[in-house]
Amino acid sequence: MSSVGKQSAAPDAVKKLVEITINGEVVTAEENSSLFNAVKLTGVELPAMCYHYSFSPFGSCGLCLVEVEGKKNNVRACTAKVLEGMVVSTGTDKMVEARKGAVEKHLKTHPLDCPVCDKDGQCELQDMAYDLEVYDIAEGKRKQIPEDTRSTVLDFNMERCILCGQCINVCKEVQLVDALCFYKKDKQKHVGAHGGEELYCEFCGDCLAVCPVGAIVSKFSKFTFKPWQLKKTETTCSFCSDGCSITLETTQKDIQVVTSELSYTSKFGFDVEPGDGHGGICVRGRFGFDYVMSNERLSQPITKINGKFEPVSWFNALMEIGKRLKSIKEVHGGKSIAALVSGRCTNESVYLFQRLMRSVLETNNIDTAARYGHMNSVLAMQEALKIGKGTVTHQELALSDAILIIGSNLTETNPITALRPKASMTEFGGKLMVADTSKTNMLNLATLPLQIGLNSESLFIQGLIKSVIEQEFVDSEFLENYPEAYDALKNAVALISESLITEQTGLEWEKITETAEALAHSKRGVLLWGEGIISKPGAYDNVLLLIDLALLTGLIRKEGAGLFPICEENNEQGAVDMGGVPEFLPGQIPFSSEEDRKRFSSTWHTTLPEPSADALGLTLPEIIEAAHRGEIHALYVVGENPLASLPAEMKVREALEKIDLIICQDPFLTETGEMADYVLPASVFAENEGSYTNVAGAVNRVSEAFDPRGEARPDWKIFTDLSKHLGHPIQYRSVEEIYQEIVKMVPGYFRGNKPIAQADNYLNKRFIENISDRYAVHSETSQSDPPTTLSLEQVLYHSGKLTTRDKQLMEIDSKTALKISEADAEALGGLVTGDPVNIKSDLGQLEVAVEVSENLPKGLVQFPLHFNDPPLKDLLKVEIDPLSKVIYFKKGSVTLERPANLDLKVIETKSETTEDSEPEAVKDEEAS
């Protein structure tokens, strides 16, 4: 047992140990650490309600009392510091009586409405009263505070509150949000948002989880359950790529509440290693469970007859699909069949699906959602390091001493991963550097915030590399082993002028050198990048630049240091690892390797499609292009929705119309599903068995909480059944058998074996060959009036399109407003939040409400990518990466215009909705 309790120093800092006596036993403890921890290490469990290992002690419950020799009063162990020669006794009668008194004090003001309290049965105050045998309570006194039900998510019942402060501390010290505080109203202490306002925060719900009593309750599950009614299933969250382990608490077929380790594991932190995280989850995981029980879910297979969907039995549906696929394969060949698989399917499903496609239907046209960005990271890292995933675990990220986050709004996209850099900064004394174009939450928190100019990411990274070389911070092993690469790099960066970098990025050169120095001198430095890098043209090269920087500063070589690419969906990494892309067989083995193809084909008892000279198989953009040409005759879509995801410029609808047979397998009837010939109802994560691979490459188990709704079936069952109708039965009796096959075919995958980076080949060859391209200075012609950049961004409260079907999350956030900077709002004649604005590009024009944000730079506007109403994505131009084939469609230039009649409207009435004024707007435009 190493460390428990809140840290405040680097993990390798030297600590002074002293000897103290606890209950007659001499123990060594760290000086000035909490006495509570020292007592705990002797195996004595002190009762406590307000203590939690992941934040600093507060000392309000008065239960962890101990006697310290030489002190008259009882001492609260949690807030007391360990001092040399302390003599402590914990279990004396006097202490037991004092603790009893403390519980009685709490119970006197407690309403004792346990039967209608949601915490009943897992209430710490109840437990303490039973444990300490407090049965007779002297005349109690109610606080008479009405319940605060103003917030959308949480209800605050101050009658029940014991003022332990845990909710406030977890918010302030772990989440670094600081949304809650104590405030006084009517001479009574309340907990709530600052100033007693209505609470509007990230709604991570950690306060709900740590509340020992029922003072904070969730609106979405208020009064609907008692803990003894619920079945608990430990599984993995299905939203972002963090892969948090969550507990689904279910009755027959309904999820009642979602909890995490924070609610259950010992708050005393036994078996917790430094950097393990506090076990909390975010708003999506905690409150986004309603879609599982949605009435919109498909309950049986449907098929399109004369343009109308009719229900059909599973057997008939699969038989028909099998027949038609077989005939298409015979007539047009396997190459005319394409498949898309979602990054939300389990590893086992993806494995089985690609096996079905490759071995039975003999096509390699299979692609996944990683093609929207993450493939850049995977392919670039594969090329340079022969590893196609992050090289740092979550724990290592927290223990890192220098983290550079670039182009990632981590708190919005991956809120739980974001806690690790926060912990690294606040708990372990690490340096957090954040480079972003807008003032993201992380940037505001960072020790070194680096707000860079629009589209200057590559120059910024080049600047870092230049600085590392110029200041001679280069890793000695790199210098020794790859002198040629070093020389080439040195020559390349010498061509980039300092002034260009500082001008474009808008940073002082000192800041860049400071960042470079911090990375180069770090023991466990981590480079983290996300959306802002991978979904912008030039992403592949930018990732290579980041790898260059990591190689140069020795981050790849050092233990605990490395790269952390962020991907969007929960199993995007796993879908790539399981061969859901044309480039790779399972285990990221190149499909081009004949030897490996043979290995797989002998296991699968078939032949695999031969890759043609120019392409291994079609990727997502190529599938759509081929469909336009009429070369695709069948498309099997599993959980994907290209029609809603891709912008109008791709002409996905036209492409899909040309395909003879579309099979869509999804829990919901999606836009793509509406165009399909067969729609097969699939199960959702709560009904699935399998595993997800998270952003750090760790594999987490997914367990089944209840049977699928209606006639829905798990993916693997549909694939095995279909294979029978295709005349090549793939026989698995359970997910376990698929798992066993993956274990055999991809050794070490589930054990989380860390592959070793092999950069020799790259550094000696491709690195030098391509250096002039990578370090070419993109001298951007400075326009007098640069266009505004529209960026489709992920929002904290949503994940992909899936959560827009979740009533609860939509209740929390369904804002479809265009975020614009203050400067832009000013330039448009002083727009305020709620005003409409015309947004224009070559492809069209739309009106959308604006939200003025102080965090954006001039020239950048953002819109949540989850919503298609208004369809701003259709205004954006599409670019396809020549190397990684990634589709760039999330960022593009637009122009903003003030609607002509805006002033009139504001003067008339403020409450008038934009819809009402739309006809007027059109008229005015016509007139002008």
Sorted by sequence, the CB contacts under 8 Å of residue 119 that are 6+ apart come out as 160, 211, 213, 214, 217
Terminus-to-terminus CA distance in the chain, angstroms?
75
Regarding 793 and contact with another protein (CB under 8 A), the answer is no
What is the distance of C-alpha 360 from the center of its chain?
Answer: 35
Nearer to another protein, 15 or 222 (CB): 222
Residue 258 Cβ vs another protein, minimum distance, rounded to whole Å: 18
Residue 705 Cβ vs another protein, minimum distance, rounded to whole Å: 18
- How far is the C-alpha of 490 from the C-alpha of 472, rounded, in Å? 11
Sign of CA dihedral 886, 888, 890, 891: positive
What is the distance of C-alpha 586 from the center of its chain?
Answer: 24
Nearer to another protein, 148 or 721 (CB): 148
Q: What is the DSSP string of 565-592?
A: E--SBTTHHHHHHTT-STTEETTTEETT
Q: What is the DSSP string of 89-128?
A: E---HHHHHHHHHHHHHHHHTS---GGG-TTTTS-HHHHH
Nearer to another protein, 155 or 202 (CB): 155
Using left for φ > 0, alpha for ψ between -120 and 50, and beta otherwise, residue 594 falls in alpha
Nearer to another protein, 208 or 321 (CB): 208
Q: Out of 26, 116, 613, 927, which residue is the one contacting another protein (CB under 8 A)?
A: 116
Nearer to another protein, 221 or 799 (CB): 221
Nearer to another protein, 293 or 843 (CB): 293
Regarding 882 and contact with another protein (CB under 8 A), the answer is no
Q: Out of 100, 105, 108, 150, which residue is the one contacting another protein (CB under 8 A)?
A: 150
**Residue 477 three-state SS:** helix
Q: Phi then psi for 423, rounded to 5 degrees?
A: -65, -40
Q: Are 94 and 75 in contact (CB under 8 A)?
A: no
DSSP H/E element including 613: none
Residue 229 Cβ vs another protein, minimum distance, rounded to whole Å: 6
Nearer to another protein, 137 or 776 (CB): 137
405 forms bridges with which residues in the sheet? Answer: 434, 528
Residue 104 Cβ vs another protein, minimum distance, rounded to whole Å: 19
- How far is the C-alpha of 249 from the C-alpha of 229, rounded, in Å? 9
Nearer to another protein, 148 or 401 (CB): 148
Nearer to another protein, 225 or 314 (CB): 225
Regarding 195 and contact with another protein (CB under 8 A), the answer is no
Residue 127 Cβ vs another protein, minimum distance, rounded to whole Å: 16
Residue 155 Cβ vs another protein, minimum distance, rounded to whole Å: 8
The window from 60-68, 109-117, 857-865, 891-899 that contacts another protein (CB under 8 A) reads 109-117
Nearer to another protein, 149 or 266 (CB): 149
Regarding 568 and contact with another protein (CB under 8 A), the answer is no
Q: Out of 24, 70, 115, 882, which residue is the one contacting another protein (CB under 8 A)?
A: 115
Give the amino acid at 491. Answer: N
Regarding 183 and contact with another protein (CB under 8 A), the answer is no
Among 378, 586, 606, smallest CA distance to 596 is for: 586
Q: Are 368 and 575 in contact (CB under 8 A)?
A: yes
SS (H, E, C) 187-226: CEEEEEEHHHCCCCCCCCCHHHHHCCCCCEEEHHHCCCCC
Which residues between 241 and 280 bind another protein (CB under 8 A)? 251
What is the distance of C-alpha 624 from the center of its chain?
Answer: 28
Residue 117 Cβ vs another protein, minimum distance, rounded to whole Å: 9
Q: Out of 92, 149, 294, 770, which residue is the one contacting another protein (CB under 8 A)?
A: 149
Regarding 113 and contact with another protein (CB under 8 A), the answer is yes
Residue 115 Cβ vs another protein, minimum distance, rounded to whole Å: 3
Regarding 778 and contact with another protein (CB under 8 A), the answer is no
Residue 163 Cβ vs another protein, minimum distance, rounded to whole Å: 19
Which residues between 228 and 247 bind another protein (CB under 8 A)? 228-229
649-680 burial code (b ≥16 CB/10 A, e <16): bbbbeebbeebebbbbbbbbbbbbbebbbbbb
DSSP H/E element including 258: strand 255-260
Residue 157 Cβ vs another protein, minimum distance, rounded to whole Å: 7
Nearer to another protein, 230 or 643 (CB): 230
Regarding 226 and contact with another protein (CB under 8 A), the answer is yes
Nearer to another protein, 111 or 449 (CB): 111
Count of chain residues binding another protein (CB under 8 A): 23
Q: Are 547 and 562 in contact (CB under 8 A)?
A: no
Residue 635 Cβ vs another protein, minimum distance, rounded to whole Å: 43
Regarding 159 and contact with another protein (CB under 8 A), the answer is yes
Q: Are 808 and 289 in contact (CB under 8 A)?
A: yes
Residues contributing to the site for another protein (CB under 8 A):
111-113, 115-116, 120-121, 142, 146-150, 157, 159, 222-226, 228-229, 251
